C-alpha cells in the first residue's frame, strides 16, 4: 500500500464502515430503546416487551455483534489492501 490513492481508498472504506456501525448502534440503542419503546411495547420477548428488551439487553447484544462484524470486515479490508498482519 505505497501509493496515495490506495491509502485514501483504504481509509475511505474504513471511515464508511465506522459510520455504518455507529448509525446501526444509534438506531438500536436510542431509536428502539427510547424513541420507539412505546410502539414496541406490544411485542412480547422473554417475558417482557420488546422496547424494554432493546433498552436493557438488545442494544448491548447488537453492540457486541457490531464489534465482531467490524473486526471481521476490517480483517477482510486489510487483506484486500495488503496491510494485514501475516
- 3-state DSSP assignment of residue 47: coil
pTM of the model: 0.78
User: For residue range 17-52, what is the model confidence (pLDDT) as tens digits?
Assistant: 999 999 999 998 888 888 888 888 888 878 888 888
Q: Spell out the domain ranges in the chain.
A: 12-81
Q: How far apart are CA 25 and CA 2, in angstroms?
A: 34
Residue 35 DSSP one-character state: I
Task: Give the E-state strand segments of 1-86 in sequence order.
Answer: 44-45, 48-49
User: For residue range 2-18, what is the model confidence (pLDDT) as tens digits?
Assistant: 578 888 999 999 999 99
- Nearest in space to 53 (alpha carbons), one of 61, 64, 45: 45
Beta bridge partner(s), residue 45: 48
Report pLDDT for 2: 52
User: For residue range 55-81, what is the model confidence (pLDDT) as tens digits?
Assistant: 888 888 999 999 999 999 999 999 998
Report pLDDT for 48: 85
Amino acid at each position: 500500500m505505497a501509493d496515495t490513492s490506495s491509502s485514501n481508498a483504504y481509509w475511505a472504506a474504513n471511515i464508511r464502515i465506522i459510520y455504518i456501525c455507529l448509525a446501526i448502534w444509534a438506531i438500536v440503542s436510542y431509536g428502539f430503546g427510547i424513541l420507539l419503546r412505546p410502539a414496541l411495547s406490544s411485542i412480547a420477548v422473554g417475558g417482557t416487551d420488546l422496547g424494554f428488551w432493546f433498552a436493557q439487553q438488545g442494544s448491548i447484544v447488537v453492540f457486541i455483534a457490531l464489534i465482531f462484524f467490524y473486526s471481521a470486515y476490517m480483517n477482510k479490508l486489510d487483506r484486500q489492501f495488503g496491510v494485514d498482519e501475516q
